[in-house]
Amino acid sequence: MGMVTIMTGDKQCKQRPKARGAGRPPVRSRDETLRLIARAATEEFMANGYARTSIKAVVARAGVSTKSLYKIVPNKAELFRLAMDQAIDISIQQFDDLPSCDGRGRDGLRTLVMAYTRISLSEPSLKVTNMIWVEHKEFPELLESYRESGRRFTEAFDQRVARLCRSGAVTCSEPLVLADFIRNAIDGMRRQVLFGQRKHPNDAELRAWVDQCTRLFVEGASSL
């Protein structure tokens, strides 16, 4: 996922790297190898479920050696934890990439609610959640990893709601209560989608739902 340039002082080194033998895998940094493995594992888990996902399939999809994978994680349970952690890191980064919500009042909160909702209703999120629901009794480590990773995500969201309240963009003396209320509303819709109680909303329906909820959140926040 990256390209390494060798530098010597202020000048780029002119030496060409020694060619590796035919059939040998390319040299990668540990971070790049980790990202490749995490992405491949996520794709395998979503496609085949936890029980049917093999280390062999993951390394083949990632284009790394089995030895390289075991340098990163010792077993499949830790591989799943790695995949979850990487997914949460990407989700939190989406919060960080949002335009500043401070001082934007309802629009700022709406932007944040929309981001959380889109992430929660994304295909990867729904597939992984469904997999855990189906397989967690046989593999209890799934639920543990899911809860730990999910806690990081909710904390990141709660912090951003609290920052909106501190900035005065949203009037609320109990920002964590407000954040919990918002998350429960979104998670409720996600459960309905997962259990087939409602269709996955299209973009127009999602925007309308977020608009309505944001209005209720802002009006209700002032009474907290």
The CATH number of residue 40's host domain is 1.10.10.60
- The two beta strands, 7-8 and 11-12, are antiparallel
Query: In this structure, is residue 11 part of a structural domain?
Result: no
pTM of the model: 0.80
34 and 114 fall within a common domain: no
pLDDT digits (tens, 9 = 90+) for 24-61: 656 789 999 999 999 999 999 999 999 999 999 999 99
130 and 96 fall within a common domain: yes
179 and 116 fall within a common domain: yes
Query: In this structure, is residue 22 part of a structural domain?
Result: no
Domain interval for residue 139? 78-221
pLDDT digits (tens, 9 = 90+) for 174-209: 999 999 999 999 999 999 999 999 999 999 999 999
36 and 129 fall within a common domain: no
Query: In this structure, is residue 15 part of a structural domain?
Result: no
For the domain that residue 104 is a member of, what is the CATH number?
Answer: 1.10.357
Q: What's the number of domains the chain is made of?
A: 2
What are the E-state strand segments in 25-170? none
Query: In this structure, is residue 150 part of a structural domain?
Result: yes
Query: In this structure, is residue 4 part of a structural domain?
Result: no
In this prediction, residue 100 has a pLDDT band, given cuts at 50, 70 and 90, of: low
163 and 192 fall within a common domain: yes
86 and 138 fall within a common domain: yes
203 and 112 fall within a common domain: yes
Burial (Cβ within 10 Å: 0-12, 13-18, ≥19) of residue 194: middle
Give the H/E segment covering residue 7.
Answer: strand 7-8
- Tell me the angle at which helices 123-135 and 140-167 cross, rounded to the nearest 10 degrees: 140
Q: Which of 215, 204, 102 is nearest to 163 (CA)?
A: 102
53 and 134 fall within a common domain: no
Please, which residues bridge with residue 8 across strands? Answer: 11
Rg (CA), the chain: 21
125 and 71 fall within a common domain: no
N-term to C-term CA, the chain: 46
For 204, other C-beta atoms within 10 Å of its C-beta total: 8
pLDDT digits (tens, 9 = 90+) for 8-31: 344 444 444 455 555 565 678 999
Query: In this structure, is residue 19 part of a structural domain?
Result: no
Q: How many CA atoms lie within 13 A of 55 on its CB side?
A: 15
C-alpha span between 151 and 153 (Å, rounded): 5
In the DSSP assignment, the letter for residue 102 is: T
